[in-house]
Amino acid sequence: MQNARKSKLYLLTFPQSGNRKQTLRNDLVDWIHNNGGGWSTQSYANTQGKEFIVSLTEAIWYIDMRSHKKLEERSFHIPNIFLEFFDRANPESHKHS
């Protein structure tokens, strides 16, 4: 007989904030949860999970600050599942006169 028990997956939590980058980070955690993902223990979620989310957030933010559309124009295509996380960085607000 097959074991029908589904193992519990754990997610990390970050403080809620109005900062766009922190909102992106929380949206990535929500996306993982909504797509049935997570980590096998809370300890893993707090260590490897945190490192993964922070790294993914930084990568998306870096690309977004430089316009992911420029990459696509040069035939570097971002997987469609990640496109919802772009156009948040608003690089114009970071430019200095």
Q: Where are the alpha helices (DSSP H) in the chain?
A: 20-34, 42-44, 50-66, 68-73
- Judge whether 95 lies within some domain: no
The total of structural domains in the chain comes to: 1
More confident residue, 6 or 68: 68
71: domain range? 20-88
- Judge whether 10 lies within some domain: no
- Judge whether 4 lies within some domain: no
The model's pTM: 0.82
Is the model's pLDDT at 45 over the cut of 90?
A: yes
Is the model's pLDDT at 39 over the cut of 50?
A: yes
Token output for 51: 């490192």
Mean of the per-residue pLDDT values of the chain: 88
Residue 45 CB partners (closer than 8 Å, separation 6+): 10, 11, 12, 38, 39
